[in-house]
């Protein structure tokens, strides 16, 4: 079986070269992701510089954050709709 290798996209190269100090592991990120997502969903923006830097350089954690924020925003929208 032949393995096909593709060149990284420019955005992948940028993500790989980002300075993500102060360093935060994915495990540490996931430990605080719920609270961070709630902050982002409510429009507060990045609440933690280490989290923000990690999410810029880690596609897996950033995707998890995106999913959580979308779910939280849908819940917020439903709550507002139910009250109105």
Can you give the residue range of the structural domain that contains 24?
A: 14-83
Is there a domain that residue 4 lies in?
A: no
What six digits make up the tokens of 34?
């719920």
Q: Tell which residue, 67, 34, 36, 72, has the closest CA to residue 52.
A: 36
Is there a domain that residue 67 lies in?
A: yes
Is there a domain that residue 35 lies in?
A: yes
Instruction: Count how many Cα atoms sit within 13 Å of the Cα of residue 78 in the half-sphere of its side chain.
Output: 6
Is there a domain that residue 55 lies in?
A: yes
Is there a domain that residue 2 lies in?
A: no
pTM of the entire predicted model: 0.69
| 16 has pLDDT over 70 | yes
Is there a domain that residue 31 lies in?
A: yes
Is there a domain that residue 8 lies in?
A: no
DSSP state, 43?
T
In total, how many domains does the chain have? 1
Q: Tell me: the pLDDT tens digits for 18-62?
A: 776 778 899 999 999 999 999 999 888 767 888 988 998 888 999
Is there a domain that residue 1 lies in?
A: no
Q: Tell me: the pLDDT tens digits for 60-71?
A: 999 999 999 999
């Amino acid at each position: 079986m032949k393995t096909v290798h593709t060149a990284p996209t420019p955005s992948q190269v940028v993500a790989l070269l980002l300075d993500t100090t102060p360093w935060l592991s994915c495990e540490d990120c996931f430990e605080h992701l719920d609270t961070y997502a709630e902050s982002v969903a409510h429009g507060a923006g990045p609440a933690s510089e280490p989290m923000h830097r990690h999410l810029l350089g880690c596609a897996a954690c950033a995707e998890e954050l995106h999913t959580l924020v979308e779910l939280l925003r849908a819940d917020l929208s439903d709550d507002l709709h139910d009250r109105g």
